[in-house]
Structure 1
Amino acid sequence: MKDVFKIGVIGCGDISTRNYVPNIMDRFRNMEIYALCDLNRERAESLAAAHGIAHVLSLDEIFEDPEIDVILNLTNPQVHYELNMRALRSGKHVYSEKPLGLNLKEASDTIALAKEKNLYVGCAPDVFLGAGVQTCRKVIEDGLIGDILSAKVANMYHGPENIHPAPDFFYKIGAGPMLDIGPYGISEMLYFMGPAEELCCYGGIGINPRPIKDHYTDVEVNTHYNGIVKFADGRCASVNFSWDTWGAENGPCVQVYGTKGSLFLSDPDNYGEGSRVHVLLEEDMRDENGKISREKTSHSGEYKKDIPLVFDCPTENRGLGLCEMIEAIKEGRPSRANGEFACHVTEVLDGFNIAIATGKPYKMQTTFQQISRMPEDFVSKMR
């Protein structure tokens, strides 16, 4: 099997220009960008010229080109399903930006077609393969915080309109905080805790119409969520996402609580450098007589310990999941940021919206096989 896979990139917007294309060109030796495609051909041509990419193709051409091994789908969420299915029908592996689909049916159909065609599907976010989350997983597996009891995922702020150049689509069907920022913390929570069994959630739309820079936009999606996840083994986690809050101290974070201590990940969207992993251990809450100290528990933040990251990894490393998927294809094994996992994540995201709409708990239909830790030398070997 070939050493270097040829990638066809569909979508040359912000995340493609800032993240994926430069990362693939500079950091991952097992792939090369063969062609770019965008509805705005001039944008694709400009990006190709900036990075020395030889081909700019139409949508039909990129699916039909026999040189391309993998389609990297970086389009808006509303068309992920359509383009992923078309790529699979063309006989190409797929790696998609999040979410895999807008609902469980779209995600399930994608996985079913990939199995039928004997092709791989991978999906962002792949941050859980980075050094921060991998360090957390090692802490859990080593038993440092004891048996895991529960977890918390949160990210609450006043929306993307102050940080994104064209934010209107964030408030349309296919986006919102659950489908945009939710996949990061949700995927990491599932990576730590295992498959979800049942969800309940309350929330809704906070501000409508929404002021966006110099105009207003109609909001089509929920903008705040307060949910609970019950896992297959009976444990649970709280989930809080919002684009309606000012100065909230609730995230971004993923926290895991055990019988001997707690684990804190400071930023779910950070692959490594700058990611902070802390633990707070029961043993550090005791006084000289071995009893729990009220003084120490009242100032517990002072007793958190930094945990060194298990390997070096850039802060932003999008494309890592695609890189790992290519190695999995070569080795004939399941990839880590795989379609089955992405399908379960998608159902959790959609399930929260269903729970809000119905006012009833949502019972999960999918599951996934537990995903192992990354080899600690993987990132360095792929450079």
Structure 2
Amino acid sequence: MSNFNPVKIVIVGCGMIAEGGYQPRCQAYPHKIELVGYYDQDIDRAELLAGKGGGKVYQSLDEVLNDPNVEAIINLTIHTGHYPVSLAGLKAGKHVYSEKPVALRVEEADEMVETADQMGVKFACAPVAMLGYVQQSVWERIRDDEIGEVVSAMGNFGGPLEYWHPNADLFMMEGVGPFKDVAPYPLTAMTTMIGPVKQVYGLARITIPERMLHAGSRAGNKYRVTEKDHGIGLLEFESGAYGLLYHSWTARSELPAYEIHGTKGCFSIQAHDDGRGIRKSTPTSGWESEDSPKEAYTGLDWGKGPSDFADAIRHDRPVRCSGKHARHVLEICERVFEAADKGVPVEVKSRFPAPIPVGDPPPWS
């Protein structure tokens, strides 16, 4: 650890997720990450984070990208900013870690993946949850054949967003919706543990065309919903396994957050958080609860992804949360909507390098 030179990183986009998630958790790994600065179109936000952790406040994205002291950026802009900001970073020769979704269109993700390869830089993307100790433990047990052949998985996430999120309208604009925003959590777990999806079926539509914000300074403002806010996706994996996705900004379901089913048993865990325990079912014992691994962080450790990213930069190895994997997840979401519109199954064409298990010691140690 003492021989590791921390990677100099700037956070671009200094809103809620930066202040409450990425900054404090990246600061928990100072031996891997050095947050050297912040940029936001609202300079006050950047100054707030700099005041909490030190570092330079940049006046523009160009200033960030032209600074030779900056090795990498973490892109925490709004959904529509993921593609242009990440692409600009990659073209400038910076390593880029993006919040999900990697982009709003598969063609945009293709361009970024190709640019990263051409420039010889690392391109990583959230979600980071699959690096949790619970998720890694269950994945290892699946590889060890504890539940036999995996035959299916299911994921569920969502609920009426406008009742608690002050900017819920941004999550319901064309190109976003619950599939591209929150489906990446169970989809990343499924495609890590099972492999790529080859075909999807979809049912999705706009259920509440006009909504009203109930939280934040704009509470009471009404807005139009321009993206499908409720849907179900059926997945056919290359392995022959099946998947089910339920994602909605309209109705909160009590379906399991994430289950994976095998011929000898099943696991049920959180796809979003680490440290929430493990439930396992077998034909003879039914469902039983287990404690999380003792090392688990309770919640979502936003810093693990950037720490792995930094370790991959220094050791010139593949990142575990790769842009290519995120592109596949994005394509699944896009194809579910296409299948819903056309009323027929749709092929998923992209593939990705199989993620590397974390192992011991973990890259953030």
TM-score (norm 1): 0.89
Matches of 1:305 and 1:43 in 2, distance apart?
42
Q: For 1:167-206, what aligned pairs fall within 5 Å after superposition? A: 167-206=168-207
Tell me the alpha carbon deviations over residues 29-48 of structure 1, each in whole angstroms, 9 at most, x when there is no partner. Answer: 21111110000111211221
1:364: which partner in 2? 348
Instruction: Give the residue type in structure 2 aligned to 1:18.
Output: G
SS of aligned partner of 1:75: coil
SS of aligned partner of 2:113: helix
Aligned CA RMSD, in angstroms, stands at: 1.7
Question: How many residues matched?
Answer: 358
Tell me the alpha carbon deviations over residues 253-292 of structure 1, each in whole angstroms, 9 at most, x when there is no partner. Answer: 1111111111111x2110x23x1211111132xxxxxxxx
* Partner residue of 1:269 out of 253, 272, 282: 272
SS of aligned partner of 1:304: strand
Q: For 1:195-234, what aligned pairs fall within 5 Å after superposition? A: 195-213=196-214, 214-234=220-240
> Once superposed, which parts of structure 1, at least 4 consecutive aligned residues long, lie more than 4 Å away?
none
Matches of 1:239 and 1:312 in 2, distance apart?
26
1:93: which partner in 2? 95
2:306: which partner in 1? 322
Alpha carbons of structure 1 residues 156 and 52: separation in structure 2 relative to 1, 3 Å? closer
Matches of 2:176 and 2:54 in 1, distance apart?
32
Instruction: Give the residue type in structure 2 aligned to 1:219.
Output: V
Matches of 1:69 and 1:380 in 2, distance apart?
18
Pairwise CA distance, 1:326: 1.6
* Partner residue of 2:261 out of 254, 257, 262: 257
Pairwise CA distance, 1:181: 1.0
Matches of 2:164 and 2:134 in 1, distance apart?
24
Pairwise CA distance, 1:320: 1.2
Pairwise CA distance, 1:132: 1.9
Contact 1:122 1:339 in 2 (8 A): yes
Q: Are residue 143 (structure 1) and residue 145 (structure 2) matched?
A: yes
Q: Are residue 20 (structure 1) and residue 28 (structure 2) matched?
A: no
Instruction: Give the residue type in structure 2 aligned to 1:264.
Output: S
5+ residue gaps, structure 2, are: 215-219
Q: For 1:273-312, what aligned pairs fall within 5 Å after superposition? A: 273=275, 275-284=276-285, 300=286, 303-306=287-290, 308-309=292-293, 311-312=295-296
Matches of 2:70 and 2:85 in 1, distance apart?
15
Matches of 2:251 and 2:115 in 1, distance apart?
41
SS of aligned partner of 1:150: strand
Identity level (%): 28
Instruction: Return the index of the structure with the highest Cα Rg.
Output: 1
TM-score (norm 2): 0.93
Pairwise CA distance, 1:156: 4.3
Instruction: Give the residue type in structure 2 aligned to 1:250.
Output: L
1:292: which partner in 2? none
